[in-house]
Chains A and B, each alone.
Chain A
């Protein structure tokens, strides 16, 4: 089972419903995933869900993360596409 860390930005002024979009991604996942926090150890990927284009959290996460970071900035992509990417990204992949 893949172990993925979920991190939201603070959501001060999001342009879409981040929680609902995450739920849609979950619904679209074809395999079970173990969701953890970025403060936990040993995960393969970070899913960073941001509410807008501002890079307030992005820089911090991408600079410090030892694993690939998949960043969501808007909800225009099909959740199934994101779900597929979550399962496909490997350690060492650059995002």
Chain B
């Protein structure tokens, strides 16, 4: 396994084509806007090095028997699925943001199921290819970006009906040694911190869409792959030199629009090629795993609740009954989220390939809660924090002799807490609820791993209404009907 320092060096060696603010970023690792996100991924390596977290962070490879980082593991039991949820909470709490590595783990697990199933039907050899690739990922302890979401163009049209065929990533050429693909993947979390990119289709497909039914993996610095960094609210605070106004002084996340400009993929890296009838299965399984992965928001919730409790105390309002009650409500919501991610793991099942998959219904219920509860937790945090969170002056003003004395005097809360400590906690709440980390804690909670309606469709498809109807009829003395 790699150490955190080795991970950083390995990313430094990549020759990625990254653009931000209209310019090429030659050194993403040391770019002040991107670096906190690299540090968050590095935490997934650092915790695996620590004895007090190894039981969660390290797994045993079912391929080689070697110790591997859990982020490269294929779930072999319910215990593995549960540990995945727990790992998400742990890392969310340690970083206070999105640590970006779950999406690759979810892609690997979904592929381990679907490549096997395609082979069963078509007598292909995708599973063996995939296993070789997986072994490479595990042995080298790599970060994979799981790239699913296409730009999608006109949502009322199927991929093959789009006026611009590139609105969904597709095969443009078939060669003896591989294929050429073109298109883009949007909202790619942690793409620039990844060694590999795993591309999957984004929706179920028909035969007419078969050129869009393609899955493959590539080194992230493959020729023709271009990364255009997404903006985050308050992102340029990271350029100010001072760190307090960032809120989270250590970690962050990032997203990018990833363009595939006629990119060559060798056959040994292709895991689905026009088997359109398996696109839907892959999407559903990946989505279920990834909806479970929102366990991380419970960890970020832990941080936000802790910060809210602290600011209540610093304001001298910690003992007010309504404040206590709001903190209870925040905890109630956060632990309800935890229940969901543990439940969908505990009720998982073994698939024909041997991989364990979460319970799809419960994973969707969990994610549906995630689209709502962090917003309410954030609202309560802002309620308790007070308006100062968005009106207080900058760190530069705190440090300037002309203004610092006034800020220290008038932004003092409780007498034994320096104004700066109060300001730092307020900045952290601001960061999570409307700054750079709100991308992960709020809007990503809404739309990541599928927008709310996607979960509602899955809930309606997977819930057993027939048995519910039967149960009701039985209790009123009516005959059971099939």
Q: Chain A interface (Cβ within 8 Å of chain B)?
A: 6-13, 18-19, 49, 56-57
Contacts and interface: CB of A to CB of B under 8 A. Distances in A.
Contacts of A11: 52-53, 55-56, 90
A8 B86 contact: no
Contacts of B51: 6, 8
Q: Is the interface of B mostly helix, strand, loop or mixed?
A: helix
B87 interface: yes
Interface in B90-147: 90, 93
A24 B54 CA distance: 21
A8 B54 contact: yes
B56 A10 contact: yes
A10 B57 contact: yes
B52 A12 contact: no
A10 B89 contact: no
Contacts of B79: 56
A60 B388 CA distance: 50
Contacts of B86: 10, 12-13
A18 to B, nearest CB: 6
16 contacts: A6-B51, A7-B55, A8-B54, A9-B55, A10-B53, A10-B55, A10-B56, A10-B86, A10-B87, A11-B52, A11-B53, A11-B90, A12-B87, A13-B302, A18-B52, A19-B52
B89 A57 contact: no
B214 interface: no
A68 B51 CA distance: 21
Given A6-B51, A18-B52, A12 B89 contact: yes
B52 A57 contact: no
A7 B51 CA distance: 8
Interface residues of B, number: 16
Contacts of A49: 52
Contacts of B89: 12-13
A49 to B, nearest CB: 8
Nearest to A14: B52
Interface of B: 51-57, 79, 82-83, 86-87, 89-90, 93, 302
A8 B55 contact: yes
A58 B176 CA distance: 55
A8 B52 contact: yes
B6 to A, nearest CB: 22
Nearest to A12: B86
Contacts of B56: 10-12
Most buried by B among A12, A13, A18: A12
A57 B55 contact: yes
Contacts of A18: 52
Contacts of A6: 51
Smallest CB-CB A-B distances: 9 pairs: A10-B56, A12-B86, A10-B55, A8-B52, A12-B90, A11-B52, A11-B53, A19-B52, A12-B89
B299 to A, nearest CB: 8
Most buried by A among B52, B54, B56, B83: B52
Contacts of A13: 86, 89-90, 93, 302
Contacts of B82: 56
Most buried by A among B79, B87, B90: B90
Contacts of A56: 79, 82
A25 to B, nearest CB: 14
Nearest to A22: B52
Contacts of B93: 13
Nearest to A57: B55
Contacts of A57: 55
Given A8-B52, A9-B55, A11-B55, 12 more contacts: A7-B55, A8-B51, A8-B53, A8-B54, A10-B54, A10-B56, A10-B87, A11-B52, A11-B56, A12-B56, A13-B93, A19-B52
A49 B136 CA distance: 34
Nearest to A13: B89
A86 B455 CA distance: 51
Contacts of B55: 7-11, 57
A9 B79 CA distance: 14
Contacts of A8: 51-55
A26 B94 CA distance: 26
B92 to A, nearest CB: 10
Nearest to B90: A12
A17 B287 CA distance: 35
A6 B52 CA distance: 10
A61 B479 CA distance: 51
A89 to B, nearest CB: 21
A18 B90 CA distance: 14
B107 to A, nearest CB: 23
A26 to B, nearest CB: 13
Most buried by A among B55, B56, B79, B86: B55
Nearest to A60: B79
A8 B86 CA distance: 15
Contacts of B54: 8, 10
A61 B86 CA distance: 19
Nearest to B298: A13
